[in-house]
Structure 1
Amino acid sequence: MISTKRKMGFLAAAFMLAAVFIVSLIGVSKNRSSNNSIVWDSPWEVTYHGKTSQPPSLAQYRPIQGEAPLGDSLLLETTLPTRLSDYSALHIRLFVSTMDVYLNDEKIYSYGQELLSEGLIVGSGYHRIELPAGWGGQKLRLKVYAAESGAFDIMPETTILPNQMMGAPYLAEHISVSFCIAIFMTLFGAMAMVGGIGAMGFAGYFVRLPLIGFFSFVLGIWTICYTHEIQLISLNLEFNAILEYAMLYLAPISIELLFVSMRRKKLSGWRWYGLVSLPIFNGIFFAGTTILQLAHVANYPQFLLLFHIYMVLGIVFLMVPGVVYSKKDGLPERISDIGFLLFCLSCIAELVVFNLSRVTPGVDPRGNPITSWGLLVYLMSLLVSYVIYLQRAIVNKTEKDLLSSLAYRDALTGLYNRAKCEQIFDVLNGIGSDYAVTSIDMNGLKKLNDTYGHGKGDEQLQAFAKTLSEAFKGIGTPIRMGGDEFLVIVRQEHLNDMETAFEKMRVLQEEASQVLPIPLSASYGTAMRSEVRSTAGDVYRLADDRMYKMKKESKDTRED
C-alpha cells in the first residue's frame, strides 16, 4: 500500500511535469515560425451580389453587414506573383463553405459541393492545393458558397507555400498556444481515465479521477478540432467537423457528472434531482443528435441553437444558491467552484470575441486562446481540489480502518474478538463449503489469578494467544471469545493441516512454559460443518460440548 506522502508526492510531481510540458510546448509554438510562406492578403477583387470591390486587405473585409445566408456565393480574384519558382502550393483556410478554385479559367480544385447537395456536413479548415508548373502571373479565382449562415464572417485566408512546407509541415510550423494546452489536456485525460478506472477497484474515492480525465480528454479533443489543428493527423474536414460537434455536445456531460460526484450526499430535494437530471438530458440530446447525424437525417450544426439554449438554462440552474456554491462547502469544493467561475468567464469572453468577429472584420474567434486558458485553469482547480479531497479521504479511511480494527480486536492479546467472530459466522452461514470450528479453554487460569494475581494471568493469556497465532498461521483464524475462552476457524482447504497445527501449538506451549509461573495447557474440541449441516453457531456449540468433555477427562480439571 502506497503511503499518503508518496501519493501526494507523485501528484505534485505530475503537476510539475505538466507545467514543464505546457511551457515547453508554448515555447516551441512561439519560436517555430516560418519566414518563407507568403500570406496573400492583397490585391484581391471581391464580387458579391454583382458588386465588385477591391479591399486593401482581404482579412479586414466584410462583404455584408450581418450574416450571409445559407447558399450565398462570393467570387474572389487575384493575379498570382511571378518569380517564385520554389513555391508550388496554396494553403487556403475556409470557414464552413464549399469552394471551387480556378487558375486561368481551369478548375484545379473543388471541395464540398457534393457534400452540400447530399445534405452532409461541410467542415472548416485548411485546403492544400498544388499549383501546376508556370503558375506565376496567372489569374486565380475562388468561388465560395456558404454552407451555413455566417460563413463569410471570416474571409478565406490564402497562403503561398514553398515546396518543403506543404500540408502538415505548414501546420506544424504554426502550432498555437491553444493546441499546446489541448494536447496536454488530451494526454492527461486519457491517462487519468485509464488510471482512475483501474484505481476504482481499490477504493471508491478514486471515482472522481476518471471523471476529471473524461472532462480533460473531451475538451482537449474539442479544442484541437476547433482550432483546425486536428489536420495535423486528419485531412478529412467532414470527419473533423463531426468530431468537433460531437465533443462539444459531449463536453457538458463530463462537467455535470463531476458536479454530481462532488455534490452527492450534500444536496437533497429538487436541487439534487435537478442536478442529476442535467447529465441525463444532455446524454439523451447527445445520443439523439448523434443518431440523426450518423443516419444522415440531420447534421450536428442544425441543433447548435438548441444546445446553446440548454447550456444557458443549465448554467442558470447551476448558479442557483446551494447547487454549485454553498457557504457550507469545504476547501476542495471552493477551489473547484472558483475554477468553474473562471471557466464560465472565459466562455463569456470567447462569446464576446465571437460576436465581435461578426461585426469587426479581421477578428478571428478561433485564433485566441481565451477559452483554452479557462479550460486549463478549471482543470488545474479540479486537480488541486481532488488532491485535497483525496488526502482527506485517505486520512479518514485510515482513521476508520484503525477504529474498525480496534472494534474487532481484543485489546489484551491482539486477536480478533467476539464481535468479529459473529461477523465471520454470518459469512460462513452464506457459503456452502465445509469448515471446522475449534473451541479452546485454557487450563489453570483461575488458580493462577488467585495465586499470583491478575497481572500474571494477563501474561499467561498473552503467551497462550501468541502460541495459538503462530501455530495456526496461514491455516486458521484464532479468536479470543472472552476470559480464558478461545476459538479457531479453519476453512475447507486447510482442514488436513489441523493436526499439524495442534502439534505445533503443543510444542510452542512447552517452550513458552519455561518462563511462566505454570505450564501452558488447554482443552479443546473440534466440530465440522459437515457434521451439523446447520449454522456456524450450531457448529460452535458442538465444538464447545466436545471441549468440555475433554476438559472433564483432563487431569488439569482438578486444579481449576
Structure 2
Amino acid sequence: MKIEKRSKRIVISLMVLFILTVLFLASANSEEDLRIVGENSIILSDNWTIRYGDSQEQAVRLPVDLDVEPGTAYEALIVLPNVANQLDYLLLRASMQDVVVYLDDQEIHRAEKPETQGIVSPVASTWIMFKLPRDFQGKTLKLVLKSDIAAFSGHINKVILGEDSSLIYYVFKQGFSGFIVFLVLFTMGLLVILFSILSKSVADNRFLYLGLLVIATSIWILSEARLLQFFMGNRYIIGGISYLMVPLMGSFFSLYAKETIFVEQRNKRLMQLMAWLYLFLLIATMILQGFGISAFIETMNIMFVVIFVNVIVFALLMGSELVKQKNQNAKQFFKYMSVLSISVILEGIAFFTNHFDYTSVFLRIGSLIFFGLLLTDSYLYFKRSLQSQKERDLYEALAYKDVLTGGNNRAAFERDFEILRNKEVPFRLVLLDLNELKYINDNYGHGSGDDALKTLYTMMHDAFMPEGVCYRVGGDEFAILMESTEKTTVKLSILQMRKYLKRAESHVEYPLEVAIGTDVYDAKTWSNLTKFYHHVDQQMYADKLERKQMRKTKFAIEVQ
C-alpha cells in the first residue's frame, strides 16, 4: 500500500512538472502568432446617438437599455470609422428584436421575424452578420430596432466591425466556455444513458433519468451560450430550445430524485406528480407559443415560479426524511443541492433583473460541480450494486451447485425441470444410479466412493453434452434432462457414457457401473409429475436388477 501511494505521488508530481515546463516553453515562444483566424475587429461601443420618441441622447456607450414601450421603434446612429477595406462586415446581436440597418439613410439589411401561417414561430435572439457596401468609411450607420418583448424593448447590444472570419471567431470565443461545458455534459449524459440500457446490475432507472437530465442541461447551456447558429438556422430551435429544456430538466430531476433519495412512498408519489406537472407545463408552453397566445419567454416567468416552489417543497421533503427516516441519501443530496440551488438563485436574479449577458453563466459552473458530484455518487452506488450482485450470483450459484461433483444439484434439477415443463413441449428424463456404491465405500473407503461419484458425473457430462444437462439429485442418484426426445440420440449418449466408464474402470480397483431409466415427458400423457418420475425410477430399478442378475450369471459361469 505504501509503495502504491508513493508511486501515485511520483506520477502526479511528474505530470505537474510536465505541465509547468510546457507552459514555460510556450511563454518563451509567444511572439509569433500562428492562429488561422485573427482578432481583426473593432467594437463600436462609444459615441452613439440614440433616438426614441421625442428624446435624443448623444455620446451613448453600448450596450444600453432605454425606457421604451414594447412595439415602439428606436434608433441608434454612429459614423463609421476610417478603417481598412477588409473590415467590411458588421456583427450585432438582436435580442428578440426586429432590426433594420441603414447606411446614409439607404437600407442595406433587414432582419425581422417573418409572418407565418398556422403555427406561430417564436421570437429568437440571433446573431446578425452581413457585408457592408464599398466605401462605407465615414458614412452614418443607423440601426432601427423594435421588440414586442418588454424585457428586450429598448435594449441595444454591442456592434462590431471586422473581417468575417474574425467576427465568427469573436462569437465562438464569447460562448467557448459554454460550448466546453456542453461537450462535457452531453458526452457524460450519453455514456450514462448507454450504461443504463446495457447494465443489468441496477434495479431502478436512476442512471436513465440522470443521463436525460444531464443531456437536457447540456443542450440548454449550448443554447444560452449563443452558439446554436453554428449548427442550425431553424428559428423554432434557436428561439425555443432553451425554454423547452427547462421543464424537461425539472421533470427528469424529479424522477431522478424519486428513484435515488426518498424512502417514504408519499414523497416518491409527490416527486412523480412534480414530474408530470413539468411535462404539463412543457406541453402548455408549446401550445401557447404555437397559437401565438404567449411567447416562450413570457411563460418562463411562470416556470421560474414553479421551480422556486419545487425547490422549497423538495427541501422540506428532504428535511422530513432526514428527521423521520434518518435518510443518509437525503443528507448527502442536500449538500449537492446547495451548490445547484445557489447557481439557480443567481440565475433567477439575473433573469428577473434583465441581466441576460449572465444567463447560464452561474448554472454552467453549478451544473458541472453538481453533476460531477452526482456522477461520483452514482459510480459509488453502482460499485456497491455490482458487489452485491456478485454476492447474489455467488450465493445463487452455490444454491444450485453440488459440492462434491462441482455440477448441478437437486435444486437446479427441480428448477430446470419446471422450466421445461412450462414450455409445454415434450422432453426426455434420464435417471441414473451408481451401482455398488456401498460396496466401494466399505471395501475401498469413502474417498474412493466420492471419486467414483465424481467420475460418473464427468463421464455423464462428456457423453450427453450438449444435448443434455446433468445433475446429481441424491447420494448415488443422477439425472439428465434432454430437450431432444429422439431414441437414437439418447441411446448413442448412453453407449458413449458406458464406454467412458469402462475405460475409467480399468484404472481403478472397483467397478464403475450404472443403472439407467429413461422416458419422454409429455403433458398430454403424464398429468401427474410424481407418477412420471416414479415410472422412470422404476425403469432404472429394473435395469439395476437386470444388471445384478447378469453379474451373478457371469460369476457362476466363471466359477464353473
Same fold (TM over 0.5): yes
Structure 1 pair 543–330 and aligned structure 2 pair: CA distance change class (3 A): farther
SS in 1 for 2:422: coil
Q: Structure 1 residues 550, 480: CA separation in 2 closer, same or farther (over 3 Å shift)?
A: same
Select the residue among 436, 456, 462 that pairs with 2:428: 436
Task: Tell me, yes or no, if the aligned pair for 2:100 and 2:111 is still in contact at 8 Å.
Answer: yes
Q: Single out whichever of 335-344 and 400-409 deviates more from structure 2.
A: 335-344
Matched AA of 2:473? M
2:381 is the alignment partner of 1:389: yes
Counterpart position of 2:105: 105
Does structure 1 conserve the Cα–Cα contact (< 8 Å) formed by 2:201 and 2:382? Answer: no
Residue pairs, 1:399-438, within 5 angstroms: 399-438=391-430
Note if contact 1:182-1:221 (Cα within 8 Å) is conserved in structure 2.
yes
Q: Report the counterpart of residue 336 of structure 2 in structure 1.
A: 339
> Higher mean Cα deviation, 169-178 or 39-48?
169-178
Alignment partner, residue 131 of structure 2: 130
TM-score normalised per structure 2: 0.84
1:122 counterpart SS class: coil
Shift of 1:90: 0.9
Match of 2:249 among 243, 248, 251: 251
325 and 182 in structure 1: CA distance in 2 versus 1, 3 angstrom threshold: farther
- Work out whether residues 98 and 112 of structure 2, in 8 Å CA contact, stay in contact via their aligned partners in 1: yes
Q: Any conservation in 1 of the 2:340–2:367 contact (CA below 8 Å)?
A: yes
Offset of residue 432 of structure 1:
2.5
**Cα RMSD (Å):** 3.1
**Which residue pairs with 1:3 in the alignment?**
none
* Selected match of 1:467 from 459, 463, 468: 459
SS in 2 for 1:134: coil
8 Å CA contact 1:527, 1:540 repeated in 2: no
1:107 positional shift: 1.9
Tell me what 2:30 maps to.
none
Which letter does structure 1 place at the counterpart of 2:198? A
User: Which residue of 1 is the match for residue 187 of structure 2?
Assistant: 187
Residue 52 in structure 1 maps to residue 56 in structure 2: yes
> What is the CA–CA distance in structure 2 between the aligned matches of 1:260 and 1:146, rounded to whole Å?
42
Tell me by how many angstroms 1:38 deviates.
0.8
Q: Greater CA deviation, 449-458 or 77-86?
A: 449-458
Q: CA deviation at 1:469?
A: 2.0
Residues 39 and 169, structure 2, Cα contact 8 Å, conserved in 1: no
The answer on 1:513 being equivalent to 2:500 is no
Amino acid at match of 1:450: D
Out of 280, 286, 295, the position equivalent to 1:284 is: 280
> Which of 341, 349, 369 pairs up with 1:352?
349
Answer whether contact 1:218 1:251 (CA < 8 A) is retained. Answer: yes
Question: What displacement does 1:208 show?
Answer: 3.3
- 1:272 maps to 268
Q: Per chain length, whose mean CA-contact separation is higher, i.e. which structure has more relative contact order (CA < 8 Å, sep 6+)?
A: 1
What are the within-5 Å matches in structure 2 for residues 360-375 of structure 1? 364-366=357-359, 369-375=361-367
Q: Percent identity?
A: 21
Query: Aligned in 2, Cα 1:341/1:240: closer, same or farther, shift over 3 Å?
Result: same
Q: Which runs of 5+ in 2 are unaligned?
A: 1-14, 24-34, 553-560
SS of equivalent residue, structure 2 residue 473: strand
Separation (CA, whole Å) in 2 of partners of 1:190 and 1:255: 16
TM-aligned CA deviation for residue 181 of structure 1: 0.8
1:309 and 1:494 map into 2 onto residues whose CA distance is: 73
| Amino acid across the alignment from 1:51 | S
Letter in 2 for 1:42: D
Deviations 1:31-65 (A, max 9, x none): 99954111101111112332111254222x3323x
Q: 489-498 or 149-158, which moves further after superposition?
A: 489-498
Alignment TM-score, normalising by the size of structure 1: 0.84
**Map of 1:551 onto structure 2:** 544
- Once residues 105 and 394 of structure 1 are traced to their aligned partners in structure 2, the CA distance between those partners, rounded to angstroms, is 72
Q: Distance in 1 between matches of 2:128 and 2:174?
A: 15
1:113, 1:237 → 2: CA distance?
9
Deviating above 6 A after TM superposition, structure 1's stretches of 4 or more consecutive aligned residues are 556-559
Pairing of 1:12-23 with structure 2 (within 5 A): none
The one-letter amino acid of 1:54's match is Q
Q: What is aligned with 2:150?
A: 149
Q: Measured at CA, do residues 536 and 228 of structure 1 come closer, stay the same or move farther in structure 2, by a change above 3 Å?
A: farther
**Deviation (angstroms), 1:221:** 1.0
CA distance in 1, matches of 2:373, 2:486: 52
Q: Is the 8 A contact 1:439 1:544 kept in 2?
A: yes
The structure having more radius of gyration, on CA atoms, is 2
Answer yes or no: is the 8 Å Cα contact 1:47–1:75 preserved in 2.
yes
SS, match of residue 121 in structure 1: coil
Q: Aligned residue for 2:482?
A: 490
**What displacement does 1:440 show?**
1.1
For residues 330-355 of structure 1, what are the alpha-carbon distances to aligned partners after superposition, in whole Å with 9 as ceiling and x for unaligned? 57x76554333211211112233444
Q: What's the offset of the Cα at 1:422?
A: 1.8
Contact map agreement 1:39 1:160 (CA 8 A) in 2: yes
Report 1:45-84 matches (<5 A): 45-59=49-63, 61-64=64-67, 69-84=69-84
Is 1:450 paired with 2:452? Answer: no
Aligned residues: 517
Correspondence 1:312 to 2:308: yes
Change (3 A) 1:545 1:109: same
> Helix, strand or coil for the counterpart of 2:208?
helix
1:78-130 Cα offsets, whole Å, 9 max, x none, are 11112431121110112222222222222222223545999542101211122
Give CA deviations for 1:258-285 in whole Å, capped at 9, x if unaligned: 212214xx52232121112121221222
Counterparts of 2:117 and 2:100 in 1: how far apart (Å)?
15
Q: Report the CA distance shift for 1:488/1:300 in structure 2 as closer, same or farther (over 3 A).
A: same
> Mean Cα displacement is larger for which, 235-244 or 252-261?
235-244
2: CA distance between counterparts of 1:75 and 1:154? 11
Q: Alpha-carbon deviation of 1:154? A: 4.8
Relative distance call for 1:440 and 1:113 in structure 2 (3 A) is closer
Contact 2:428–2:485 at 8 Å: present in 1 too?
no
> 1:170-181 to 2 correspondence within 5 Å?
170-181=170-181
Cα contact 1:98–1:122 (8 A) shared by 2: no
SS at match of 2:304: helix
Identify the residue that residue 27 of structure 1 maps to in structure 2: none
Q: 1:289 to 1:349 in 2, by over 3 A?
A: closer
- SS of the residue aligned with 1:512? helix
Contact 2:201-2:386 at 8 Å conserved across structures: no
Report if aligned partners of 1:357, 1:365 keep a CA contact under 8 Å in 2: no
Paired residues of 1:335 and 1:382 also in contact (CA < 8 A):
no
1:454 Cα deviation (Å)? 3.1
Amino acid corresponding to residue 446 of structure 1 in structure 2: K
1:529 aligned to 2:521? yes
Where does residue 231 of structure 1 map in the other structure? 229
Q: Could you tell me how far apart the structure 1 residues matched to 2:487 and 2:336 are?
A: 59
Specify the alignment match of 1:11 in structure 2: none
- Distance in structure 2 (CA, Å) of the matches to 1:496 and 1:304: 76
